[in-house]
Structure 1
Amino acid sequence: MSTLSFKELEESDIPLLMDIYNHFVVHTTVSFHTEPVEISEFTESVRHPNPRYQTYVITLDGVLQGYVQVMPHKKKQAYDTTGEVTIYLHPECVGKGLGSAAIQYIETVAKERGFHALISTICANNIPSIHMFTKNGYTQCAHYREVGFKWGQFLDIVTYQKII
């Protein structure tokens, strides 16, 4: 039987996680970056000075599979009870239930840290992510049309929310 676990991000995890992220940058419209990110930019996106906001590494049988994070939704204080959830999995792990487990894990962490609402912003073309969040009780609360442009096409984003 496989063992799924979550651990706080360590410096040594960053290059492998960046490789996973950059796969989606280069090969999909999941990320709105159009060029692979450098280590400094990626590090800034997965580390936050406030320990309330964390990135967790997802491992299966001790092998890194991806990451899940809860970060600030906005910088203004009234938003402090809302977190933004992001999940990136190694492409070979997509569709195996790891994303749902990551959502459940991050919701538990978020509740312990006083969050009230979680949101996720997703490219509207990313049907697997939309399905995963919907399956876990998130509802669509926004649809922004043609706000991104990548590979010669305009892209929509959708925002999903769950009150936890």
Structure 2
Amino acid sequence: METISFEKVSDETLPEVLEIYTYYVLNTTATFHAHALTKAEMKEIVIFESPKYCTYVIRQNNTIAGYVILTQHKKREAYDATAEVTIYLKPGLTGKGIGSKAIEFIQEKAKEQKMHVLVATICGENRPSIRLFEKNGFTKCAHYKEVGIKFGQYLDVVAYQKII
């Protein structure tokens, strides 16, 4: 039987997290980074000083399948009860229920940190990610037209939110 578990990202798991992210940077519009990041740059994205925010690797049968981030939404005190959630899964592992389990898990972590709202910021053409968040109770709250450029095309960004 398949088991899904979560553990905090560490220096030991960082290289595999970077490998997953690099795939999305180089091959997709899921992220707007245009160049592969260094290990130090990736560490800044996934390891936080504040205990309020965290990144977890997602293990499927003890093998890293992806990672989920709970991070600061904006650097203003009024946003302290709002966090952004991001999920990246290894290619080939999407559409198998892992993302939904990651959302359930990170929502509980967000509640423990007294979060009130979770926001997901998604490239407008990333239909699988949009479906994932909609399926898990997030609703569209913003649509920014042509705000990013990647692979020579202008891209929309949509935001989804869930009050938890």
TM-score by length of 2: 0.99
Aligned match of 2:86: 86
SS of the counterpart of 1:101? helix
Output the CA distance in 2 between the equivalents of 1:65 and 1:136: 19
The TM-score with structure 1 as length reference comes to 0.99
Q: Deviations over 1:98-132 (max 9, x none)?
A: 00100010001101110000000000010000000
Which runs of no fewer than 5 residues in structure 1 stay unpaired?
A: none
Q: How far did residue 152 of structure 1 move?
A: 1.0
1:54 counterpart letter in structure 2: C
Could you say which residue in structure 1 is the equivalent of 2:97?
97
1:90 CA displacement: 0.3
Query: Take 1:9 and 1:28, find their aligned partners in 2: how far apart are those partners?
Result: 23
**% same residue:** 49
Tell me what 2:36 maps to: 36
Q: Distance in 2 between matches of 1:87 and 1:15?
A: 17
- Aligned-CA RMSD value: 0.6
SS in 2 for 1:92: coil
**Corresponding residue SS for 2:13:** helix
2:27 aligns with: 27
Work out the CA distance in 2 between the residues paired with 1:10 and 1:25: 21
- Runs of 4+, deviation exceeding 2 Å: none
1:9 and 1:153 map into 2 onto residues whose CA distance is: 33
- Structure 2 residue runs without a partner (length 5+): none
The separation in 1 between residues aligned to 2:10 and 2:150, in whole angstroms, is 32
Instruction: Give the secondary-structure state (helix, strand or coil) at the position aligned to 2:22.
Output: helix
Count of aligned pairs between the two proteins: 164
Letter in 2 for 1:65: A
Residue 9 (structure 1) shift: 1.2
